[in-house]
Amino acid sequence: MFSQFASFSKIRQESSWLLGSRWLMLLSLVTLTFVVYAEPPVADNADVELGRRIYMEGILPSGKPLQGKRQDTVQVEGATAACETCHRRSGMGSLEGNIVVSPINGGFLFATAENRPIALMDQRAPKNLTRAHEPYTEASFTKVLRENVNVDGRAMNALMPKYDLSDAEVKALMAYLRQLSAEVSPGVGTDKVHFATIITPDTDPKKKDAMVSMMQASFAQRNASQQTYSGRMRMPIDLIPRTLRNWELVVWELQGAPDTWGTQLAENYRKQPVFAVISGLSNTTWAPVHTFCQLEKLPCMLPSVALPPAETGYYSIYYSRGVALEADVLAKHLHNQEKNAPHRLFQVYRDNEVGQGAAQALTKALHDSGIQIENRVLSGNEPSALKAALKGVSNKDALMLWLNPADLSALNKVESQKLPAVTYVSGFLTQENYDFASKAWKPQIRVVYPYDLGEKRQGSEASRQGSEESLKRWLKTWQLPVVDVAFQSEVFFNLLFLTDISSQMLDNLYRDYMIERAEDMLSLGSNVSLYPHLSLARGQRFASKGAYIAHFATDGKLVAESDWIVP
């Protein structure tokens, strides 16, 4: 046991020493290039941009589409021929089915035995590491593109197209690859990686504290296990040498109006650049954070927000579309009822971004369904306000309450009036708190429910990472309170996810690569969370795509009334 530990730490010291020498090598390489070619940097920048267009978009300097030929017959062109489709934005490569697409950013392409980085090519097979090759030169790089024979004389897999590029085009591509993922991203230090979490002003202090303390506990646990190399960290993948870096968390609590958040975020970021934003909490808008992350090219991983912006960006990944997804699920459910669907639906919401967003989404989804929609904005906090909002609702109508527990609690007091046939509430907004519903009211309530129900979410084996059971055990170990299981399970999943992603990235701490890893890992579908299924095809940014309609059984438990509805 002890000797094992000793040898691990030796590897680790060696690996950080190696990294030091790698930078030295890179430095001398840069100087050398400069001396040999003595190219003015201006020309280089123009080449980098021309190379970027070929790599990312499949557009040649002439403006014509890039042409490639696979197996001498299949012609690929333009965006499909672009290197990015296989080698990815970071240049770190990928796995296409079982075919390994090599990393080709400068660090890998031009590496020598002394400074060769390592990447894991298949997360299911920790021994599948990058193959070493001689450093590429302009001649050998031209040859692999034109003839599909690599620098070591090995014929490449036929998936790699042949490209008949001119010398100038090859040079532009090389210039681009030389600078691609050449340095670790901002937020990564020699012995630390900084992460942030972001909280908007309107949030419940209990949830905020729960999230921050869970993250701090998990970071402390991860840093300790990195040092002692015990517990969860001892997996085959952890035997691959890498630099020891502790995780540091900063909490960015925003204040004031949303239009000032961008400036606050920029100021926080200036003080402490971070590698990524992990989780986050908002009951109102998230748009300024989304915009900031896109601007800084900063991964924003799985925040707990009720309504993410509809427009996706490369750098933000969400659990789901939130209340907008619920609106679409409800519309589909009502549509499925055909003749039994209500003729009229009242929706009650607050006059804020989430309320309006939800109401607009439902209105849009029910457009030409034949169901008439009545919008009622809830204003004020008195029970009389809710009563006023419900005026005219009859038992032939359906009711959708886009309200949180505080607003719903007024329901008890207005219930004496004539009740509508069915009342729908939002799973996200009620936050699993159904105290608002009296015994008499409960049978009529339906929850649009975005998580797993009943036994499934318990995780059949107690050991299932990320199940409700394992979350509760973990909270107990760290003496943290159970505040809101669904919300805390989102944070918990994200922390496990981050541990896995970062352990697979090894020393290749590039933000684009992090997003690529997240896409690929979620698509394996092996993750356990309160969501029945999380997946991201390339370019997708909402991982869960449906919800149940659920009601309360006689024992008070929530049970599914519909299948999992994917609108």
Interatomic CA distance for residues 311 and 322, integer angstroms:
13
Interatomic CA distance for residues 524 and 509, integer angstroms:
21
| Span interacting with ligand HEC, options 158-166, 184-192, 255-263, 470-478, rule CB under 6 A | 158-166
Closest listed residue to residue 115, CA positions, set 103, 132, 92, 102: 132
Measure the CA angle with vertex 393, ends 391 and 399; round to 5°: 115
CA distances from 190 to 20, 193, 194, 370 (A): 10, 8, 11, 62
Question: Is residue 425 involved in binding ligand HEC (CB under 6 A)?
Answer: no
Nearer to ligand HEC, 87 or 517 (CB): 87
Nearer to ligand HEC, 131 or 367 (CB): 131
> Residue 128 burial (CB < 10 Å; 0-12/13-18/19+)?
middle
The least distance separating ligand HEC from the CB of residue 128, rounded to whole angstroms, comes to 12
Instruction: List the interface residues with ligand HEC, window 17-76 (CB under 6 A).
Output: 54
- Print burial letters for 193-215: b (CB count within 10 Å at least 16), e (below 16): bbbbbbbbeebbeebbebbbbbb
Residue 196 near residue 278 (C-beta atoms within 8 A): yes
Nearer to ligand HEC, 99 or 553 (CB): 99
The least distance separating ligand HEC from the CB of residue 33, rounded to whole angstroms, comes to 18
The least distance separating ligand HEC from the CB of residue 505, rounded to whole angstroms, comes to 19
Instruction: List the interface residues with ligand HEC, window 68-127 (CB under 6 A).
Output: 81, 83, 85-87, 99, 101-102, 104
Nearer to ligand HEC, 152 or 435 (CB): 152
Nearer to ligand HEC, 166 or 337 (CB): 166
Closest listed residue to residue 252, CA positions, set 240, 261, 243, 260: 261
Instruction: List the interface residues with ligand HEC, window 495-534 (CB under 6 A).
Output: none
Residue 123 near residue 195 (C-beta atoms within 8 A): no
Contacts of 243 (CB under 8 A, 6+ apart): 12, 15, 16, 19, 190, 191, 507
Nearer to ligand HEC, 77 or 253 (CB): 77
The least distance separating ligand HEC from the CB of residue 515, rounded to whole angstroms, comes to 19
The least distance separating ligand HEC from the CB of residue 434, rounded to whole angstroms, comes to 51
| Span interacting with ligand HEC, options 160-168, 302-310, 339-347, 389-397, rule CB under 6 A | 160-168
Interatomic CA distance for residues 20 and 18, integer angstroms:
5
Nearer to ligand HEC, 154 or 464 (CB): 154
Nearer to ligand HEC, 100 or 530 (CB): 100
The least distance separating ligand HEC from the CB of residue 525, rounded to whole angstroms, comes to 23
Tokens of 465: 């990472």
Interatomic CA distance for residues 144 and 390, integer angstroms:
70
In total, the chain counts a number of residues equal to 567
The least distance separating ligand HEC from the CB of residue 70, rounded to whole angstroms, comes to 7
Nearer to ligand HEC, 54 or 302 (CB): 54
Nearer to ligand HEC, 122 or 469 (CB): 122
Largest Cα–Cα distance in the chain? 87
The least distance separating ligand HEC from the CB of residue 15, rounded to whole angstroms, comes to 22
Instruction: List the interface residues with ligand HEC, window 437-476 (CB under 6 A).
Output: none
The least distance separating ligand HEC from the CB of residue 62, rounded to whole angstroms, comes to 15
Size of the site for ligand HEC (CB under 6 A): 22
Closest listed residue to residue 65, CA positions, set 50, 54, 51: 54
Question: Is residue 161 involved in binding ligand HEC (CB under 6 A)?
Answer: yes
Task: Give the residue, chosen from 111, 173, 254, 354, that forms a contact with ligand HEC under the rule CB under 6 A.
Answer: 173
Measure the CA angle with vertex 351, ends 349 and 357; round to 5°: 70
Question: Is residue 160 involved in binding ligand HEC (CB under 6 A)?
Answer: yes
Residue 299 near residue 317 (C-beta atoms within 8 A): yes
Nearer to ligand HEC, 117 or 427 (CB): 117
Question: Is residue 172 involved in binding ligand HEC (CB under 6 A)?
Answer: no
Instruction: List the interface residues with ligand HEC, window 311-330 (CB under 6 A).
Output: none
The least distance separating ligand HEC from the CB of residue 566, rounded to whole angstroms, comes to 30
Interatomic CA distance for residues 343 and 371, integer angstroms:
5
Residue 92 near residue 120 (C-beta atoms within 8 A): no
Nearer to ligand HEC, 59 or 348 (CB): 59
Nearer to ligand HEC, 85 or 128 (CB): 85
The least distance separating ligand HEC from the CB of residue 230, rounded to whole angstroms, comes to 36
Interatomic CA distance for residues 115 and 161, integer angstroms:
28
Nearer to ligand HEC, 156 or 373 (CB): 156
Closest listed residue to residue 185, CA positions, set 89, 112, 261, 113: 89
Backbone angles phi, psi at 554, to 5 degrees: -60, -25
Query: At 117, which amino acid appears?
Result: P
The least distance separating ligand HEC from the CB of residue 524, rounded to whole angstroms, comes to 20
The least distance separating ligand HEC from the CB of residue 112, rounded to whole angstroms, comes to 14
Q: In the Cβ-directed half-sphere of 486, how many Cα atoms lie within 13 Å?
A: 18
Interatomic CA distance for residues 135 and 221, integer angstroms:
40
Interatomic CA distance for residues 55 and 172, integer angstroms:
10
The least distance separating ligand HEC from the CB of residue 251, rounded to whole angstroms, comes to 42
Interatomic CA distance for residues 17 and 311, integer angstroms:
44
Instruction: List the interface residues with ligand HEC, window 128-157 (CB under 6 A).
Output: 133, 144-145, 150-151, 156-157
Contact residues toward ligand HEC (CB under 6 A) are 54, 81, 83, 85-87, 99, 101-102, 104, 133, 144-145, 150-151, 156-157, 159-161, 163, 173
